[in-house]
Structure 1
Amino acid sequence: MAPPPVAFQGHVDFRMRLVLATLAGRPVRIERIRSDDVNPGIRDYELSFLRLLENVTNGSKIEISMTGTTVVFRPGQIVNGTYTHNCPLSRGMGYYIEPLLLLAPFGKAALSVTFKGVTSNGVDIGVDTIRTAIFPLYQKFGIQRQELRILKRGSPPGGGGEVQLYLPHVVLQAQTLHAAVRAPVVAKLRGIAYSTRVSPATVNRIIEGARRVLAGTGCETFIYSDAARGDESGASPGFGATLVAETKTGWCISAEAVGGAGGVPEDVGERAARALLDEIALGGMVGRNQVRALVVLMVLGREDVGRVLLGRDAIDAGLVRLLRAIKALFGTEARLRPADADAEWAGFGSAEPAPEPAAAEYVLSIKGAGFVNASKKIA
């Protein structure tokens, strides 16, 4: 007899609940999806994600109520494959790529998806951030050879972008992570400034604005320029920047900013640079846009305790909801404790004693659920 679905309420964390349910092999029932809203029920981008999830799995069953306020999802086997997905212009491609990164390594074969739509919109994680900061995080867990090729950039509202995501590495389980000894030291700063259907000089102005803010760090800084032209520039004008701080131990902390009609390129560069400095100042091994993937991958390891150092402000309501969903679906709990007083600060150039009490950083400990990829072909 099939177990009853695990019940959740609300539209928040819609994607993550479905991803966790697929990995755990547990059915879920999500109720009261915007039930008090003037326009209740799931949105077009959520329906699009359900279709994508149905494509990469075999045997999944999705039931949506007449009003769209209740979704029952019974997961099947992750098979991956080759697909083309047209993303609604209401969300960026990162909305769909992020959950696939968690599913694809635990499937039956390689995954190749061509996405069409908006590449970066300032709301969802941008494709440049995925390529330069999220991929290195997965490598810490033994997941390699991830590729994301940007064929066309597409700015909101018209989109017109196209990227190819290729995830060939299928693993049995994620490696256990032990990264709680000391906060990383930033070794160099990298980034990319891009534009679509505007003057090519725009990217230089973005870089100039970012360099003004980052000049005081004393770190080696290099920001690439990508001025898309012609058929590679999508349907709408736009520009933005993605900046990454690379540490000596291979961790990457990122931030991004997107500009639109009437925006000033220098301001976009400054916003991205200040956002990056804020992420570094939080402490811990990762930025806030990496925490959720980090926690899920720690759960998908063998039955061993993994540890990671997190900044205090990275522990927010979203992380608490994720840990509750993990407990409901995997039965695994996490433990948080203040870091040791002698932990070092994520400073520039060289390690310096932490200027704040140790409670500014916490050690997150999670015992792996002993997850094993039953879909992986055995040679």
Structure 2
Amino acid sequence: MTTGTPPLKFTTHASLRRRLLLATLTGTPVHISSIRPNSLKPGLTPSEFSLLRLLDTITNGSHITISVTGTTLLFVPGLISGTNNSQLSHTLPENCARGATYYLELLALLAPFSKTPLNIALTGGVITAATEDDYSVDTFRTAVLPLYANFDITRNIEVRIVSRSSGPVGAGEVHFVHAHQVRLPRTLHLQTPGRVKRIRGVAYVSGVSAGNNARMIEAARGVLNRFLADVYVYSDVKSAQTVPVDYGKEGAVEKARGGVRASGRTRKIGVGFGMALVAETGTGVLYSADAFAGPAEPAEDVGRRAAYALLEEIRIAGAVGRTGVMTMLTMMMMGVEGDVGRVVVGREAVGEEFVGVVRDLKSFFGSEIAVRDGEGGNLVVTIVGKGVGNVGRKVA
């Protein structure tokens, strides 16, 4: 980045994570104002503060300036340095409202372009299950990470769930390792969705009866086996996490630092169950769906809800599921300069998330993204690579 480069200016907290990601990839400073100015708790949330700390840790030379009220942010990114072949432990706030994939998705996009491998352990207020705003770590592992094979990024990549935990307050642990750095990703041409040939999934429980898994799996198979015989859902049973009784409550961490945190009194959190499903076509396209149990919701309803959500995803998506839109478009834009990549997107899958990604890519890369009608009512998205790539990787 050239010294004195004027920052791109944005307002509101919407798409804050995506803009910080693109700023880091392109080396472009960003200025974001009017972050929840009218909220009862204005400014950045604990989840967003934690994200900024994580970015500062895995980069070298980043500068972050936050106003006193937290409603204005200036982020000047540095070089993506990685963790230098050692494991970094990043502790999320106890009251973190976002799922672990809020951080993992960003790390996975930065890792191929880092100077050294990434090896990060997310601890503290980690929610591994699906939430209202984020999909589960199981979906990230089975449906998002495999997308990088389209760009020839496949080696030494692993996500391991050490401790499961559900929301709204989590206490899990997830390890993420990514040691396949590239200079530039391969140009993508993915225009044939193909037919679904198999469905896989994970039914998980933490702190409740394992019988919920069997009931979810039976209900989901009752829906999916009418369309496909090759359906297998793995059952994962974990214990709930035991934490101090005031864990996750406002001011609890500050009290603990003063030595006055509740001692000897504990409670279990992260209790719940859910299901993550992924369908794979003959051309390697992946569609995914998540469902997590609501208050007093029967396991059978969760299984059926996950199955119907997957069928809906298959119906509306093209050659990329909605969970993979940001990953695919960003990697295509980072590709070889001048090379034209194409991917088919379902017309009904084009929503607020897709439009936001396209607008932000144009702002940071200065390049238009072409969209035209394709076969079967789908849309063909065409992107010309900008050749940004990995500035920290030596060219052999």
Say whether the fold is shared (TM-score over 0.5): yes
- Residue 371 (1) aligns with residue 388 (2): yes
1:226 to 236, 244, 255: 236
How many residues are treated as equivalent by the alignment? 360
Give the match for residue 246 of structure 2.
none
1:100 to 96, 99, 107: 107
**Structure 2 CA distance, aligned partners of 1:231 and 1:271?**
27
Shift of 1:261: 4.0
Which ranges in structure 1 are unaligned for 5 or more consecutive residues? 341-357
Which segment drifts farther, 309-318 or 227-236?
227-236
- Residue 170 (1) aligns with residue 181 (2): yes
> Does the 8 A contact of 2:131 with 2:167 survive in 1?
no
Give the match for residue 320 of structure 2.
286
Give the alignment of 1:79-90 within 5 angstroms.
79-81=81-83, 82-88=87-93, 89-90=96-97
Give the alignment of 1:230-249 within 5 angstroms.
235-249=269-283
* 3-state SS in 2 of match to 1:189: strand
Q: Aligned Cα RMSD in Å?
A: 1.7
> Does the 8 A contact of 1:87 with 1:93 survive in 2?
no
TM-score (norm 1): 0.91
* 3-state SS in 1 of match to 2:322: coil
> Does the 8 A contact of 2:165 with 2:241 survive in 1?
no
> Does the 8 A contact of 2:343 with 2:381 survive in 1?
yes
**Structure 1 CA distance, aligned partners of 2:276 and 2:162?**
17
2:120 to 113, 125, 134: 113
1:252 to 279, 286, 292: 286
> Does the 8 A contact of 2:80 with 2:114 survive in 1?
yes
Give the match for residue 183 of structure 1.
193
> Does the 8 A contact of 1:109 with 1:377 survive in 2?
no
**Structure 2 CA distance, aligned partners of 1:263 and 1:84?**
35
Give the match for residue 211 of structure 1.
221
- Residue 132 (1) aligns with residue 142 (2): yes
> Does the 8 A contact of 1:187 with 1:219 survive in 2?
no
Look up the equivalent residue of 1:178 and give its one-letter code: H
Give the match for residue 350 of structure 1.
none
TM-score (norm 2): 0.88
Give the match for residue 151 of structure 1.
162
Shift of 1:207: 0.4
Which ranges in structure 2 are unaligned for 5 or more consecutive residues? 244-267
- Residue 160 (1) aligns with residue 171 (2): yes
Give the match for residue 252 of structure 2.
none
Shift of 1:365: 0.3
Give the match for residue 351 of structure 1.
none
**Structure 2 CA distance, aligned partners of 1:121 and 1:254?**
12
Q: Deviations over 1:276-302 (max 9, x none)?
A: 000000130111111111100100101
> Structure 1's 230 and 325: CA in aligned 2 closer, same or farther, altered over 3 A?
closer
**Structure 2 CA distance, aligned partners of 1:220 and 1:121?**
25
* 3-state SS in 2 of match to 1:290: helix
- Residue 5 (1) aligns with residue 16 (2): no
1:326 to 348, 358, 361: 361
1:91 to 83, 91, 98: 98
Which segment drifts farther, 315-324 or 226-235?
226-235
- Residue 296 (1) aligns with residue 301 (2): no
> Structure 1's 362 and 250: CA in aligned 2 closer, same or farther, altered over 3 A?
same
Give runs of ≥4 in structure 1 deviating > 4 Å.
230-234
Look up the equivalent residue of 2:66 and give its one-letter code: I
**Structure 2 CA distance, aligned partners of 1:217 and 1:363?**
28
**Structure 2 CA distance, aligned partners of 1:155 and 1:183?**
33
**Structure 2 CA distance, aligned partners of 1:199 and 1:187?**
32
**Structure 2 CA distance, aligned partners of 1:12 and 1:289?**
18
> Structure 1's 201 and 232: CA in aligned 2 closer, same or farther, altered over 3 A?
farther
Shift of 1:251: 1.8
**Structure 1 CA distance, aligned partners of 2:242 and 2:384?**
46
* 3-state SS in 1 of match to 2:269: coil
Shift of 1:198: 0.5
Look up the equivalent residue of 1:248 and give its one-letter code: G
